[in-house]
Amino acid sequence: MALATRTIEGNNSGLLLRVPKVVVMHSTRSGIASKTDASELTSTINWFLNPAGASAHWIISKVERVRAVADTLRAWHSAWLNGLSWGIEFTQPTIDRTFGAGHYANAALIGRHYVSLGVKPVWLDDWDGNLSASGFVDHEDTIQGRASGKSDMGYRFDRPRFIASLEDDMPTTKEIVDATVKALRPVIATESAIAATAAVKATATTVANIRKSLTGGMFPGAFIKFDDDKTVYWLEYAGGIWVRHSVRNPTTFRGIGGEGPVLVLKASQRKRIALGPTLPNLAP
Q: Which residue in 103, 108, 112 sits closest to 156, CA to CA?
A: 103
Give the DSSP H or E segment for 79.
none
Query: For residue 113, is it within any domain?
Result: yes
Query: For residue 266, is it within any domain?
Result: yes
Percent of the chain with pLDDT over 70: 69
- What number is the average pLDDT over the span 198-209? 42
Confidence of residue 252 (pLDDT cuts 50, 70, 90): very low
| Residue of higher predicted confidence among 266 and 92 | 92
Report the 10 Å Cβ neighbour count for 191: 17
Question: Are residues 125 and 41 located together in one domain of the fold?
Answer: yes
* pLDDT at res. 227: 84
Q: What is the largest CA-CA distance in the chain?
A: 67
Query: For residue 83, is it within any domain?
Result: yes
Q: What mean pLDDT is reported for the chain? A: 78
Confidence of residue 277 (pLDDT cuts 50, 70, 90): low
Lowest mean pLDDT among 49-63, 159-173, 190-204, 248-262: 190-204
Which domain-ending residue is among 141, 167, 193?
167
Q: Is 155 left (phi over 0), alpha (psi -120 to 50) or beta?
A: alpha
Which domain-ending residue is among 167, 186, 206?
167
Instruction: Answer whether 174's CB lies under 8 Å from 197's CB.
Output: yes
Bridge-based pairing of strands 58-60 and 65-67 is antiparallel
- Assess whether pLDDT exceeds 60 at residue 52: yes
Q: Which residue in 236, 165, 157 sits closest to 203, CA to CA?
A: 236
Give the neighbor-by-neighbor strand order of the sheet with 6-7: 6-7, 65-67, 58-60, 85-90, 22-27, 135-138, 123-124
Angle of helix 101-116 relative to helix 159-167, nearest 10 degrees, comes to: 50
* pLDDT at res. 231: 78
- Assess whether pLDDT exceeds 80 at residue 187: no
Instruction: Answer whether 11's CB lies under 8 Å from 55's CB.
Output: yes
What confidence tens digit (pLDDT) does each residue in 61-92 have?
Answer: 999 999 999 999 999 999 999 999 999 999 99
Confidence of residue 266 (pLDDT cuts 50, 70, 90): confident
* pTM score: 0.62
Instruction: Answer whether 126's CB lies under 8 Å from 67's CB.
Output: no
* pLDDT at res. 271: 73
Query: For residue 240, is it within any domain?
Result: yes
* pLDDT at res. 242: 65
Name the phi and psi angles at 195, rounded to 5. -65, -40
Question: Are residues 31 and 159 located together in one domain of the fold?
Answer: yes
Residue 232: domain span: 173-275
What confidence tens digit (pLDDT) does each residue in 204-232 have?
Answer: 334 444 444 444 333 456 677 788 887 77
Question: Are residues 89 and 219 located together in one domain of the fold?
Answer: no
Instruction: Answer whether 58's CB lies under 8 Å from 66's CB.
Output: yes
| Residue of higher predicted confidence among 202 and 76 | 76
Question: Are residues 155 and 187 located together in one domain of the fold?
Answer: no
Asked if omega into 153 is within 30° of 0 (cis), the reply is yes
Confidence of residue 176 (pLDDT cuts 50, 70, 90): low
- Assess whether pLDDT exceeds 60 at residue 254: no
Q: Which residue in 155, 131, 121 sits closest to 141, CA to CA?
A: 155
- Assess whether pLDDT exceeds 60 at residue 259: no
- What number is the average pLDDT over the span 238-246? 62
Angle of helix 173-183 relative to helix 193-200, nearest 10 degrees, comes to: 110
- Assess whether pLDDT exceeds 50 at residue 130: yes
CATH number at residue 34: 3.40.80.10
Query: For residue 208, is it within any domain?
Result: yes
Question: Are residues 89 and 198 located together in one domain of the fold?
Answer: no
Question: Are residues 49 and 161 located together in one domain of the fold?
Answer: yes
